[in-house]
Chain A
Amino acid sequence: MKSKLLLALLTVTLAGTAIAQVKTEDAIKYRQSGYGFMAWNMARIKANVEGQYNKEEVIKAANAIQAIANSGMGALYPQGSDKGTGWEATRVKPEFFTNKEGVTKVAMAFNKEANEMAKVAATGDAAAVGAQLGKLGGTCKGCHDDFKAKK
């Protein structure tokens, strides 16, 4: 009992920052939810570009994507979570956990374009938003190609 307490104390001290302990199953759920929510917002932006353009709608959607992109989602990829089921079986490839350089590259690219998307959305320039949506979608694909298993 005492040793367990000590261990817990040690863990908390070593961790330094407060990280909520998330079960793998929950981590997979959270990240799947994040991508699903972003997909809704991507579709919203696309619908606005292709149809009646509503600046406020696009700003909301772009800001939502930007917020998720900058939320530190990497924390939702604990070691070993290449297997497991959240809302559905995870499709992350094992390479995600070994190719750190590759993951950093696609994640940085995504962050950059998501931030840019929010900036462009604020201008209300539909053509520019359409072009930026393509760039942003390209960074999604960059990760899907390398780290998301095909069904």
Chain B
Amino acid sequence: MRKDLDMNSKKFHLWDLPTRLFHWLLVLCVLAAVVSGQLGGNLIDWHGRVGLVIVGLLAFRLVWGVVGSSYARFRQFLPTPTRVRAYLRGDWQGEGHNPLGALAVFGLLGLLTAQVVSGLFSNDDIAFVGPLFELVSKNLSNRLTGIHHLLSNLLIGLVALHIVAIAFYGHVKKQKLVKPMITGWQEGEGESATGGGVLPLIVALAVAAGAVYGASGAWLPEPPPPPPAAETPSW
């Protein structure tokens, strides 16, 4: 399809548009979530909304990791011990996420998933509860809130490592990782990504929408109206 173009300029299509959009939207949302979570106050309501967007993004990426285009598929960059060892020895050949980077990808996706799930059931002991708080006991919610706080520190650490690693690759190993994530094109020789057409995209978007709906608690039955308070002189 893009073969003639590839030959002339020695570059190939690495990251499909949905993967890139996912990545940069996730950057924005995580940034917004960290800031709103740290500042608190009324921003905590925005923290909850941003969390729901992140639920959608993660659900999308998990599906896209199966049905997306070749380099975006999990199977393509599964960091098996063999691959990681080969990479550390300098024997690994390939494009896209290298085995070490893949560890970070899976780590970030896993941590973020745990983070949004715990957040859905959390409470701040002030005036905010996660959208699925009603489904668990206060005690369990408190525990999940504790986990949510703990994971936020881990996440910030892993994101920092991710950025440092990219800087390291850029300056020391002379591999530009940011540009392909923006343009989608990688310089050099390689096969352009295939797959991940319109139908898989629709499936992934539908799953994402379903996940956001489920996480929003909009399907929860309205709590029954509280029984009227006892008739007493006005307190």
B-binding residues in A (CB < 8 A): 35, 39, 42-43, 45-46, 130-131, 133-135, 137-138, 140-141, 144, 148, 150-151
Contact = CB atoms under 8 A, between A and B. Distances in A.
16 contacts: A39-B126, A43-B127, A45-B127, A130-B42, A134-B42, A137-B40, A137-B42, A138-B39, A138-B40, A140-B125, A140-B126, A141-B41, A150-B146, A150-B149, A150-B150, A151-B146
Nearest to B235: A60
B67 interface: no
Interface string B117-133: 00000001111100000
B43 interface: yes
Given A130-B42, A131-B42, A150-B150, A137 B126 contact: yes
B125 A137 contact: no
A30 B159 CA distance: 42
A87 to B, nearest CB: 11
A138 B125 contact: no
Contacts of B126: 39, 42, 137, 140-141, 144
Closest 9 CB pairs of A and B: A134-B42, A138-B41, A150-B146, A134-B41, A141-B40, A151-B146, A42-B127, A151-B142, A140-B126
Contact of B125 (A35, A133, A134): A35
B186 interface: no
B70 interface: no
Interface extent on B, as a size class? 10 to 19
Contacts of B44: 137
Contacts of B142: 151
A64 to B, nearest CB: 10
Given A35-B125, A137-B40, 8 more contacts: A134-B41, A137-B128, A138-B40, A138-B41, A141-B40, A151-B142, A151-B143, A151-B146
Contact of B43 (A35, A45, A134, A150): A134
A35 B145 CA distance: 18
A66 to B, nearest CB: 16
Contacts of B128: 137
A25 B43 CA distance: 36
B42 A141 contact: no
Interface in B144-181: 145-146, 149-150
A46 B126 CA distance: 10
Interface in B13-60: 39-44
A39 B44 CA distance: 16
Contacts of A150: 145-146, 149-150
A90 to B, nearest CB: 13
A135 B42 CA distance: 7
B146 A133 contact: no
A150 B147 CA distance: 8
A150 B44 CA distance: 18
B124 A141 contact: yes
Contacts of A45: 127
A134 B126 CA distance: 10
B41 A135 contact: yes
